Structure formats: structure tokens, C-alpha cells
Amino acid sequence: MDAAAVSRAGDFAAGVEKSRLISNVDALVAAHREDTPLDCSLFETSDIDTNRRPVCNLTRELSRRLVRERFESLGYSVTTHDTEDARFPTSNVIAELRGTEHPDEVVVIGAHYDAFFSGADDNSSGVAAMLEMARLASGKRFARTVRFVGFDLEELGLVGSTRYVQTHPGERIVASIVFDCIGYRDATPGAQQGLPGFPVPTTGDFIAAIANEQSRASLEELYTLGSRLKDGLVRGVVMPNDGSGPASGNLMRSDHAPFWLAGQSALFLTDTANFRNPNYHHDTDVPSTLDADFLTDVTRLSAAGLSYWAGGPQP
């Protein structure tokens, strides 16, 4: 890796502020708590495992508004990718910095803003990281286009991200990170359950970085960046081909999956959700259960990746 680019990435990532991340999490959680859940009559709940997907406690209107307002407050021109649907219309929120040298080459940073209950880890942690990275990138110049996307209705089956990918065929995504649950750490032996298809230690003190062949290079580069920047958080795995093999079900459970299936690069970062966090999809998923230092370290590593892949910030 180019030493100057690594140094620049480290300097960029150093700007991540823990207090801002926690403030973002708190604001998103408050939005979910104050919001009105989706109407349960939209669902045939007898066909749904309501313990895993408590659909009668799903909110996203106020968190969507908050994401848009935060992007706009940072000076971005914000657009929405809206899809009308009789039952589940979606609205992905998009903020973009146009690249100065290779504007058709895109680095995507994404996180879903819908949540069950308070949704502190799932997925206010991921949205908070995206917003903090957007703050760092605001007003700066990158060789490639940087695009931040808040995805809608991930919890109902990757609805927003699937519709996003379907309307961006053939886009030149050079790298992307999808965040989903990145704020929970438990270093107690036995706290980490085994994740099928992904050999892991028994302590939940790492961030899982999950790639397919298309995104293998991004995983290798992020791992190397972490090593150069003295950040040993990453445990990575590469799924064969497009990642959709018979053993990969639990590794396809977020918004990176539509990118993989479309032949696009997407690197999935997660604390492994229910394989570590006992609060997953419960009303106990609250800010006090998160590890602020862990969330900060994951965001800094991801910010370094953004800088490296996007080619900047430029003078």
C-alpha cells in the first residue's frame, strides 16, 4: 500500500470523535422511541417469527428525517430514492460528494435506519458511524465519488437496499462498507457464539468483516490499514463467488447482500448481532449496553478505508 495514502487515511480517521458518535446514537434512539411503529395489520404475523422479527415494534419515519437533517446540516445536497408500493413504500436517503478525478467511480457507505424498539446497536450504531464519516468528509475533495446511503426497511428483508441496487445497474462501485450492528463488545470468554461459515474466537471483542470474491480486495486493504494504523479489530472471511452459497445464510442477512448478488463490491461490518449481543431485536437494545470505545475504533478504521479508496482528502 502507498505509504502516503495510508498516512493520509490515518490523519482523516483521527478526526472521528467519540462524543459525536454517542450523541448520534442517542438522537437516533430518541427518534425511534418517539416514533409510531408500522401498522401491524400490514403483516400476516402468523407467518412471521415475531421473536426474531418483532414487526409490531418497527419504526423509521423519524430516524429517516433525522438522517436527512444531519446530512443537510453538513452542507450536502440530499436526495431520496423513493419507491412506491401499496404496502411498503421505501425512501433511501442519499448524500454525495462528487469525485474530482474519477466521478463515475463510487465509494459507498451505507447503513439501515429502520429499527425494532430503541435500536441502539441495530442499527443506530451503524447510522451514527455513517453520519460521523459524512461529517469528516463534508467540504473535502476526493478523487472518487463518495456516497452515503441510509437504507430503508432492512428489517423486512433488505427492501430498500434491494430497490436501490436494482435502479443502479452496472454502477462502478470501487469499494463499499455496509454497517449493521457495530457497537457491542463483550470480551468475556464464551460471550461470542459460533457464526456458521465464519470461524470466530469465543470472545466478542472483534469486528467481523465479511466479503465475497468481488470485495476480497477491500477486505484485504481494510485489514492492512488496520495493521498499519495499529488497529487489530478485524476478523475477516471471504465467501466463495458471489457469497450466496448454501453455508452463507447468516452472512447474507444485511444490506450488502443485494450488492453481492448484483456483482458489486460490498464489505459487511458487524459485531455479529445475535451471535454476540443478547439485546438483539429486544427492548433492551439501548445505548447503555454499547461500548463507545469499540464503536469509535470501528468508525475510525472505516473512515481510513473511505479515505484510502476514495483518494483523498485532496489538498
Taking the C-alpha atoms of 251, 256, 257 and 258 in order, what is their torsion angle to the nearest 10 degrees? Answer: 180
Instruction: Give, rounded to a whole angstrom, the gap between the first and last alpha carbons of the chain.
Output: 20
Q: What is the percentage of the chain residues whose pLDDT exceeds 90?
A: 82
pLDDT at 121 over 60: yes
Q: What is the mean pLDDT of residues 174-179?
A: 98
- Backbone torsions φ then ψ of 110, nearest 5 degrees: -135, 155
Which superfamily is assigned to 3-310 in CATH?
Answer: Zn peptidases (3.40.630.10)
Q: Is this prediction's pTM over 0.85?
A: yes
Q: Work out the mean pLDDT of the chain and round it to a whole number.
A: 93
The reported pLDDT for the residue numbered 283 is 96
Residue 180 near residue 154 (C-beta atoms within 8 A): yes
The reported pLDDT for the residue numbered 176 is 97
**Total residue count of the chain as it appears in this document:** 315
Rounded Cα distance, 72 and 56, in Å? 31
Which residues, 6+ apart, have CB-to-CB distance to 106 below 8 Å? 99, 144, 145, 146, 147, 171, 172, 173, 174, 176
Phi-psi region of 69 (alpha: psi -120 to 50; beta: other; left: phi over 0): alpha
Q: Which residues pair with 269 in a beta bridge?
A: 179, 209
Per-residue model confidence as pLDDT tens digits over 79-115: 999 999 988 999 999 999 999 999 999 999 999 999 9
The reported pLDDT for the residue numbered 247 is 59
Q: What is the mean pLDDT of residues 155-176?
A: 95
Q: Residue 201: is the preceding peptide bond cis (ω within 30°)?
A: no
Q: Residues 160-183, buried b or exposed e (16+ Cβ, 10 A)?
A: bbbbbbeebeeeebbbbbbbbbbb
The reported pLDDT for the residue numbered 52 is 67
**Which residue from 159, 172, 134, 124 is spatially nearest to 23, judged by alpha carbons?**
124
pLDDT at 228 over 90: no
Of 40-49, 157-166, 247-256, 265-274, the poorest mean pLDDT is in 40-49
The better pLDDT of the pair 124, 43 is held by 124
Rounded Cα distance, 94 and 110, in Å? 9
